[in-house]
């Protein structure tokens, strides 16, 4: 297919998620009747931890063991971001604010266009130079390697709102938003995760390169570039670089991604499938540069635009379309309007359709 074209042929209307069940103890899952001895030692150890929670988790009703190191990291990075906004944001020069916006956009694209739409869903094809650009952008966002992020995301789509979903929104807003990163993953995430094929990414040279040098790449793209580049190019205060362009920008990007897992799984319209939790949420759409059409996305995961509204409130789709005109992106998969209408009539929440139409056309 020629560069810049949009493919409407091979996209399934909905994904079929009927992987074989794996048994685990009833105390750790709704699936009962397990043969624990068939599981890996790592998963057996995890099940043991879930069955013997520490006193703090038991006392306060937590379902999972807390990873305290991750809690400390989260607290420190948020304190740095808040301190940066209060003390150093007023001191930032205007070139630094332009840099902030551009670097924020790059960081977001590394998640939305990169690890989400390209590597996790393979919803379009990209030339090697654009793959490398997306990989670098992805390092700015520092949200785990492409391979790990994609594995979690594919498991999330396959087992949405179950114990196997890494950020199961049925466990509440905070867990789905960021709490899941501060706790041990539920054993089901690993058990059911084995049903998810990751061979394509294991053989992906760009994703494998990133995994091999991940910490060094993140150190450069997440921290050193936003601190040193403004200092060297226009004499910005190093403290502004550290607290505003690194710490605050990094935390802001994290929350915009996390909102997709939390807010867009709890609040919004369901015009395409009223039987699932993922929802179309306009606020999340703006915050995450186009990932808030989440009812559409879970219904049609392979659509490169994650929406039937094309570039409407969808900066990521605008950028991908622009890259397609330059020949860097091609074979963008898109669901036909006929298929969308058919699924919407069959599964959609009708009351949400009017709302979504109104919002998208205004
Ligand atoms: Zn989701
Ligand atoms: Zn997705």
Q: Residue 361 pLDDT > 90, yes or no?
A: no
Query: Cα(169) to centroid of ligand 2, in Å?
Result: 15
Helices (H) and strands (E) in the chain, counts: 19, 4
Residue 40, Cα to own-chain centre: how many angstroms? Answer: 27
4 confidence band (pLDDT: 50, 70, 90): low
Helix (H/G/I), strand (E/B), else coil: 269? strand
What pLDDT was estimated at residue 73? Answer: 96
Query: Cα(60) to centroid of ligand 2, in Å?
Result: 32
**DSSP code per residue over 285-316:** HHHTTS--BHHHHHHSTT-TTSSSSTTTT-HH
Helix (H/G/I), strand (E/B), else coil: 125? strand
Query: Cα(116) to centroid of ligand 2, in Å?
Result: 6
Q: Which ligand is closest in space to the CA of residue 259?
A: 1
Beta bridge partners, 6, equal 332
**Cβ distance 135 to 207 under 8 Å?**
yes
Query: Cα(118) to centroid of ligand 2, in Å?
Result: 10
Strands 332-333 and 6-7: parallel
Q: Which ligand is closest in space to the CA of residue 284?
A: 1
Q: Which ligand is closest in space to the CA of residue 116?
A: 2
For 293, phi then psi, to 5°, come to -80, 65
What pLDDT was estimated at residue 286? Answer: 93
Phi-psi region of 356 (alpha: psi -120 to 50; beta: other; left: phi over 0): alpha
> Which sign does the torsion angle of CA 19, 345, 173, 289 carry?
positive
Query: Cα(302) to centroid of ligand 1, in Å?
Result: 13
Query: Cα(241) to centroid of ligand 1, in Å?
Result: 33
Query: Cα(85) to centroid of ligand 1, in Å?
Result: 30
Q: Which of 158-167, 311-320, 331-340 has the lowest mean pLDDT?
A: 311-320
**Cβ distance 189 to 196 under 8 Å?**
no
Residue 165, Cα to own-chain centre: how many angstroms? Answer: 13
Q: Give residue-wise pLDDT tens across range 300-328.
A: 999 999 999 877 789 999 999 999 999 99
**d(C-alpha 144, C-alpha 346), whole Å:** 38
Q: Give residue-wise pLDDT tens across range 71-126.
A: 999 999 999 999 999 999 999 999 999 999 999 999 999 999 999 999 999 999 99
Query: Cα(124) to centroid of ligand 1, in Å?
Result: 19
Query: Cα(121) to centroid of ligand 2, in Å?
Result: 7
**d(C-alpha 104, C-alpha 128), whole Å:** 23
Burial of 107 (0-12, 13-18, 19+ CB in 10 A): buried
Q: Which ligand is closest in space to the CA of residue 280?
A: 1
**DSSP code per residue over 66-111:** B-HHHHHHHHHHHHHHHHIIIIIGGG--HHHHHHHHHHHHHHHHII
Query: Cα(302) to centroid of ligand 2, in Å?
Result: 8
What pLDDT was estimated at residue 35? Answer: 63
What pLDDT was estimated at residue 46? Answer: 82
Which pair of structure tokens corresponds to residue 265?
A: 């799984």
What pLDDT was estimated at residue 275? Answer: 93
Burial of 257 (0-12, 13-18, 19+ CB in 10 A): buried
Q: Which ligand is closest in space to the CA of residue 153?
A: 2
Query: Cα(222) to centroid of ligand 2, in Å?
Result: 24
Query: Cα(161) to centroid of ligand 1, in Å?
Result: 9
**d(C-alpha 294, C-alpha 279), whole Å:** 5
């Amino acid at each position: 297919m020629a560069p810049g074209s949009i493919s409407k042929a091979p996209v399934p209307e909905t994904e079929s998620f009927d992987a074989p069940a794996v048994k685990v103890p009833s105390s750790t899952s709704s699936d009962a009747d397990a043969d624990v001895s068939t599981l890996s030692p790592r998963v057996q150890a995890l099940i043991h931890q879930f069955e013997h929670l520490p006193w703090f988790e038991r006392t306060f009703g937590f379902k999972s063991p807390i990873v305290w190191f991750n809690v400390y990291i989260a607290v420190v990075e948020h304190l740095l971001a808040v301190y940066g906004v209060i003390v150093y944001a007023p001191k930032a020069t205007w070139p630094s604010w332009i840099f902030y916006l551009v670097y924020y956009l790059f960081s977001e694209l590394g998640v939305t266009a990169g690890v989400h739409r390209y590597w996790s869903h393979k919803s379009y094809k990209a030339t090697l130079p654009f793959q490398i650009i997306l990989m670098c952008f992805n390092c700015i966002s520092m949200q785990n390697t492409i391979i790990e992020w994609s594995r979690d995301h594919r498991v999330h789509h396959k087992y949405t709102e179950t114990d196997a979903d890494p950020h199961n929104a049925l466990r509440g807003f905070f867990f789905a938003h960021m709490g899941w990163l501060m706790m041990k993953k539920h054993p089901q995430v690993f058990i059911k995760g084995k049903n998810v094929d990751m061979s394509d990414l294991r053989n992906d040279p760009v994703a494998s390169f990133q995994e091999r040098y991940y910490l060094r790449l993140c150190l450069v793209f997440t921290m050193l570039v936003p601190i040193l580049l403004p200092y060297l190019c226009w004499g910005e205060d190093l403290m502004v670089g550290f607290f505003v362009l690194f710490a605050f920008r990094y935390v802001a990007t994290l929350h915009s991604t996390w909102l997709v897992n939390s807010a867009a799984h709890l609040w919004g319209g369901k015009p395409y499938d009223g039987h699932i939790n993922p929802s179309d949420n306009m606020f999340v759409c703006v915050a995450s540069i186009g990932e808030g059409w989440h009812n559409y996305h879970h219904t049609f995961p392979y659509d490169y635009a994650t929406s039937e509204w094309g570039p409407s409130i969808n900066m990521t789709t605008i950028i991908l379309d622009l890259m397609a005109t330059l020949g860097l992106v091609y074979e963008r998969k898109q669901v036909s309007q006929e298929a969308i209408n058919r699924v919407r009539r069959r599964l959609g929440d009708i009351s949400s359709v009017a709302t979504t139409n109104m919002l998208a056309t205004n």
